[in-house]
């Protein structure tokens, strides 16, 4: 391959990331050696090394001296905010974690969800509501929409046993994320599930993720009173 067609480190990074996203390299897998990837793609080993550095910083792979490069079991693609596994967040606070599935239904996407995803037409999506608990007290109320066209595997997941949050973080590393923070007054469902006094302020995190142009999920997480945001990088 001549210099004009030789891949750049960003080309190599994007190719390896695509293989992680389509699970050619699954969570926990050991990647080929840098030399082998360089030989396959027809580029310099230093180009692969630079690509792997970026993927490491992005939280998709982990490199260890003499241990090789592995796809992270819990990938955390870094943007302005890392997406945590709520169970681990609770346990890191020293609390006991529990989880309750409230509902799981196929529904037509409302206009607000279409707007978050940038969709022009209505799509049937999986709508999941769940409550995360810390020491048997409400912690986060999760209202999530999942586009099963990009994420059909979620249909095989028993969401009564594993939260969509944890499954998606482990199995669907994203290429783009939009994160928004806001506050709302507790009322109706939020007040009931979070055991919050009506009118009290509740912290809200909204996250929307994509694989390339394809939407994965959008979720509104409403935190119980007294919630303290854990720094996520």
Q: What is the pLDDT of residue 233?
A: 30
As to burial, measured by CB atoms within 10 angstroms (0-12 exposed, 13-18 middle, 19+ buried), residue 225 is middle
- Of the pLDDT bands very low, low, confident and very high (cuts 50, 70, 90), residue 78 is very low
> What CATH number was assigned to the domain covering residues 86-223?
3.40.1410.10
Domain boundaries, the chain: 9-71, 86-223
Residue 98: C-alpha distances to residues 12, 133, 150, 204, 216 (Å):
41, 5, 28, 20, 25
pLDDT at 2 (0 to 100) = 42
Six token digits for residue 53: 């550095």
Q: What is the average pLDDT across 44-59?
A: 88
Within a 13 Å sphere around the CA of 196, how many CA atoms are in the beta-carbon half?
Answer: 26
Q: What global pTM score does this model have?
A: 0.69
Q: What is the pLDDT of residues 115-155, one digit of tens each?
A: 999 999 999 999 999 999 999 999 999 999 999 999 999 99
Instruction: Say what the pLDDT of residue 229 is.
Output: 55
The residue ranking higher by pLDDT, 226 or 150, is 150
Q: Which two tokens stand for residue 66?
A: 């003499």
Q: State whether CATH 1.10.10.10 applies to domain 9-71.
A: yes
169 pLDDT band, cuts 50/70/90, is confident
Beta strand 68-71 pairing with 137-146: unpaired
């Amino acid at each position: 391959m001549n210099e004009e067609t030789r891949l750049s480190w960003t080309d190599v990074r994007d190719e390896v990331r695509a293989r992680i996203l389509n699970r050619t390299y699954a969570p926990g897998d050991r990647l080929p050696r840098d030399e082998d990837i360089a030989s396959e793609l027809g580029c310099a080993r230093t180009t692969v090394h630079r690509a792997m550095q970026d993927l490491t910083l992005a939280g998709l792979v982990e490199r260890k001296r003499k241990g090789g490069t592995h796809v992270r079991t819990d990938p955390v693609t870094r943007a302005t905010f890392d997406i945590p596994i709520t169970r681990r967040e609770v346990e890191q606070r020293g609390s006991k974690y529990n989880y309750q599935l409230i509902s799981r239904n196929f529904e037509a996407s409302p206009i607000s969800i279409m707007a978050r995803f940038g969709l022009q037409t209505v799509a049937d999506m999986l709508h999941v509501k769940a409550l995360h608990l810390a020491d048997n007290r409400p912690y986060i109320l999760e209202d999530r929409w999942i586009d099963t066209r990009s994420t059909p595997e979620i249909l095989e997941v028993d969401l009564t046993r594993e939260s969509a949050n944890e499954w998606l973080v482990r199995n669907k590393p994203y290429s783009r994320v939009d994160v928004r923070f806001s506050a709302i007054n507790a009322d109706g469902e939020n007040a009931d599930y979070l055991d919050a006094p009506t009118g009290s302020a509740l912290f809200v995190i909204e996250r929307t993720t994509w694989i390339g142009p394809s939407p994965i999920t959008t979720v509104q997480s409403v935190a119980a009173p007294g919630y303290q945001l854990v720094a996520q990088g």
